[in-house]
Structure 1
Amino acid sequence: MDETISLSACHVAEDRGIVRQSPRPENLRNAAYAAQFDWRTIFYDVYRSGPEVVLQGPPFLNFLPMLKAAEGLRGKFRPLWPKARLVDRSKGCEIRLRHDGDTLLLDGALGRFDITVQPDLSHLFAGRRVIHTLSRNNDIRWIKDWIAFYAAIHGADGVLLYDNASTAYTLGELRAALEQVFPDMAVAVVDWPFIYGPQGGLAGAVDGRETPWDSDYCQTGSLQHARFRFLRRARSVLNVDIDELVLSSRERSIFAETEASKAGFIKFGGSWISSANHRAATPEDCRHGDFLLRDREEQEICPPKWCIVPDARHDAKYTWSVHNVFGSPHNRTLSPEFGYRHMKGISNSWKYDRWERASPDPARFVEDPDLRAAFERSGLIVAEAAAR
């Protein structure tokens, strides 16, 4: 795609002395929290989505009264015939504004912002079956294999990748590599350089106590941005990471079945595939096709992922999030047919070391036959693995 994708992000300047209020009490913030929290982003982007301009960011919290009072929005939220409306979500907010111009001036306590309203880019993926992910420093060979798998096994013909400040390559290098290998697919790479946010659960624990998942805004923000700026007209959308490969027990397409479903939505669980492998692959040279083995001792649970048909009727009610589509009455139901394989070896181990250094003892490891079959159909299985 030749389209240059820009964002109109807005941040509070440090000299304003104003920061976003944290939703987490101080006694539940560990030593890393302050450096990981997004204190200053007001809007990730300001863009046109259909007839409206969307000002989208993390939760506005204490920023909201100052936004409503700012020149450009003042008086727009009036009860009768409002020109602006707020969509308030747990991990993000949108102001939806009736505005015909290509620029927007906001001036108030948070600062003065002369904003370019970015264009609606939903035409790029209209009618496409799109895989979407947020990625940081995943090797380009992994990204190519991931796309090739979904194209061959599920009929994907669109890729929307949000890059979260990768340092291993430039966006131009990544985009060029993908467009060269997949010339017939709609491919877009979006620069999404925002702070990822503090972890919750045990990863954000304080004195051994789990903490809430209340401050990680970046990835949900990327999903909502993708949904409204790029994917409103997509045929269907699959939300999975580079290390996640969806399989059907009946060798069917997740896109086709989601499109045919009454709900227009399928949610599915996952299971781990060990990094143990017969090729003696290393983190530096491994590919998806190296990994076929389940660990009988594995106890960690993989949270669910989902595929959906975008529907404008759900714009305010539903929230696309990493493991859920909140607001959907079908969010609690997991498909008995579809599931994903979570590849431990396809990782930079940014959260913890996922590499299995033990030899693949058959008493401990068993091959996943469905994964092997899918790799063989997609041409991704490595020669050493295929020979066993």
Structure 2
Amino acid sequence: MAIDLALTDPAIAASSAVMLDASKPLRRIPLGPELERPPSFYERFDDSAVFYDVFRDHTGSHVYLIGPMALNLTPLIDSLVITGHPSGVEARPRIHHGVQAEILRVTLPEDDTRLSFDFGDQQVGVAIQPNRSDALDGDRVIFTINKDNDLAWIADWARFYVVEHGATAAVVYDNGSVSYSLDDLRNTLAAVAGLEKFLVILWPYRFGSMDDVFEGHKFGGNWGMFAQPPKFTQFFRKYAMSARSILNVDVDELVFSPFRKSVFKAVERSPFGLLRFNRVWVLNAREEDGPPRHRQFFIRKKGVAARDRGKKWALAPGRALFASWRAQPWTHQVKGWLNLSGSSDMFYGYHFIGISRSWYWDRTENVPFDARLHVRDELMIDTFADVFGPEKSK
């Protein structure tokens, strides 16, 4: 049975969020606030979180404040003066307005356990969470954000990485699942054979929404994402600095190697500790009836039409000497980390259209197999047979 890290340290998943006072008018507002949008957009829009977490870095010398993109709150972020307690030391943080995230680092005495600052007409005081990297010391870690994905998918996802790549730990940020409890999720991970440890982190912040109205942003309609982008930096700096290697993969993403190599071993041997590789879309085409499972999907488009360049990555945190303090792992790349080796052709991140819940576009339509356009991927068939058993992957 895998060990639940929260059983040995009940506070390990705690975070120190900074939220705008609900009784006061100050709020984050969307780009193009004058535009008319459906109520569902505002239900997902995070108008109140300033920082999702405040915590020590792994050296103990600095404190990180990690939050969603500030938008109209940017001038208040830029003018912050932070006071550490009990020292009373005042300091201005270094500020990086990252990709859909705010990354702040301030130097405060190691004995300080709280900090405070003024934010508009609000006075903020918050605990400084300790760094938790020791809990994953030496581990090969998969991590993801989840909401209502089938528990069977999560079990298969973890088992795949344990058997095929040698993962030893899994960290799942749960973004408010309602179809099962956190205990159900923990029990699922605990039962994955070969997994040594896991951690479930409640991440209740608003995820954000596709915006079909505002078109003036470099990310187009994807600009309004909140809960996911800051999570990468929070995980990297708070939990992963002592890990042997880490891999960000959603539950609908499995990494395959034409050479049957471990992605963890590969990034650990890479010159810069960063491995980038392309993504392949797996079609929603299967012959079985009933609830879908990863191993039932092995049909993709032919040739280069299947590939989506430069979309996945793995890191060896011990090589963070190649990264600035503001390095930002993000959904499809790592910003601020020296890497001269380009994308690897040893791995591909297979993205399963048919394994999904709560997505923004319809991924449920079954695609009929067309031999002119599609191929049954023999690498997937063989790998699934080794991971899940031959009788289940035909």
Establish whether TM, by shorter chain, passes 0.5: yes
1:25 maps to amino acid = G
Cα deviations by residue, 1:59-82 (Å, 9 ceiling, x for unpaired): 34554554645673798346xxxx
Q: Does 1:330 align with 2:339?
A: yes
Q: Contact conserved, 1:289 with 1:382, CA < 8 A, in 2? A: no
Question: Structure 2: where are the runs of 5+ without partners?
Answer: none
* Equivalent residues of 1:30, 1:205 under 8 A apart: no
Matched, 1:12 2:23: no
Q: Does 1:258 align with 2:267?
A: yes
Task: Report the identity percentage.
Answer: 28
Q: Specify which of 47, 52, 65 is matched with residue 39 of structure 1.
A: 47
Q: Match of 1:293, as an amino acid? A: I
1:108 CA displacement:
5.0
Corresponding position of 1:277? 286
Tell me the equivalent position of 2:149.
138
Change (3 A) 1:139 1:356: same
Assess if the C-alpha contact under 8 Å between 2:99 and 2:330 holds in 1.
no
The answer to whether residue 66 in structure 2 is matched with residue 56 in structure 1 is yes
Q: 1:116 to 1:305 in 2, by over 3 A?
A: same
Q: CA shift at 1:198, angstroms? A: 3.2
Could you tell me which amino acid in structure 2 is paired with residue 130 of structure 1? V
Cα distance in 1 between the residues matched to 2:133 and 2:166: 20
Q: Are the aligned partners of 2:134 and 2:242 in contact in 1 as well (CA < 8 Å)?
A: yes
2:285 matched to 1:287? no
Aligned pair in 2 of structure 1 residues 232, 338: CA closer, same or farther (>3 Å)?
Answer: same
Contact 1:275–1:343 (Cα < 8 Å) also in 2? yes
Q: After the TM superposition, which of the residue ranges 294-303 and 305-314 deviates more from structure 2?
A: 294-303
Aligned residue in 1 for 2:257? 248
Question: Deviation of residue 363 (structure 1)?
Answer: 5.6
SS of residue matched to 2:281: strand
| Contact 2:80/2:117 (8 A) holds in 1 | no
Task: Trace 1:142-157 onto structure 2 (pairs within 5 A).
Answer: 142-157=153-168
1:277 to 1:298, Cα distance in 2 relative to 1, 3 A: farther
User: Could you tell me which amino acid in structure 2 is paired with residue 340 of structure 1?
Assistant: G
My pick for the range that moved more, 176-185 or 133-142, is 176-185
Q: Which residue of 2 aligns with 1:320?
A: 329
Q: Which amino acid aligns with 1:307?
A: A
Show the counterpart of 1:81.
Answer: none
Name the SS for the 1:56 alignment partner: strand
Could you tell me how far 1:116 is from its partner in structure 2? 2.4
For residue 231 of structure 1, what is the amino acid of its counterpart?
Answer: A
2:113 to 77, 97, 102: 102
- The amino acid of 2:150's aligned partner reads D
TM-score normalised according to structure 2 size = 0.84
Letter in 1 for 2:120: A
Distance 1:274 1:228, change over 3 A: same
Deviation at 1:188, TM superposition (A): 0.7
Question: How much has 1:370 moved relative to structure 2?
Answer: 0.5
Checking the alignment, whether the CA contact within 8 Å between 1:272 and 1:298 is kept in structure 2 is: no
Question: CA contact under 8 A between 2:15 and 2:53: conserved in structure 1?
Answer: yes
Question: Which of 301, 306, 317 pairs up with 2:313?
Answer: 306
Look up the match of 1:128: 139
| Cα displacement (A) at 1:344 | 1.4
Check the 8 A contact 1:237/1:307 in 2, yes or no. Answer: yes
Within 1, Cα distance between the matches of 2:32 and 2:369? 45
Per-residue CA deviations over 1:355-385 (Å, capped at 9, x if unaligned) read 34355455654210001111112125653x4
2:355 maps to which of 316, 338, 346: 346
CA contact (8 A) 1:223 1:320 kept: yes
The answer to whether residue 233 in structure 2 is matched with residue 224 in structure 1 is yes
Distance in 1, matches of 2:281 and 2:180, equals: 28
8 Å contact from structure 1 (residues 103, 116) kept in 2 = yes
Aligned partners of 1:224 and 1:29: how far apart in 2?
Answer: 33
Q: CA deviation at 1:340?
A: 1.5
Deviations 1:3-39 (A, max 9, x none): 33111112102321111254x3347775454443322
Q: How far apart, in 2, do the equivalents of 1:29 and 1:92 lie?
A: 25
Partners of 1:140 and 1:7 in 2: how far apart?
A: 25
Contact 2:82–2:91, Cα closer than 8 Å, also in 1: no
| Whole-Å separation in 2 of the counterparts to 1:124 and 1:315 | 23
Matched residue SS, 2:343: coil
Question: 1:77-116, aligned counterparts within 5 Å?
Answer: 77=91, 84-97=93-106, 98-99=108-109, 100-109=111-120, 111-116=122-127
Q: Quick one: which amino acid aligns to residue 76 of structure 1?
A: E
1:309-344 deviations in Å (ceiling 9; x for gaps): 114432424211000111234389221221121111
Q: Please, what TM-score do these two structures have when normalized by structure 1?
A: 0.85
CA contact (8 A) 1:196 1:218 kept: yes
Aligned residues: 373
Give the counterpart letter for 1:192 in structure 2: W
Which has the higher mean CA deviation after the structures are superposed, 335-344 or 302-311? 302-311
Gaps of 5+ in 1: 79-83
Question: Are 1:166 and 2:177 matched, yes or no?
Answer: yes
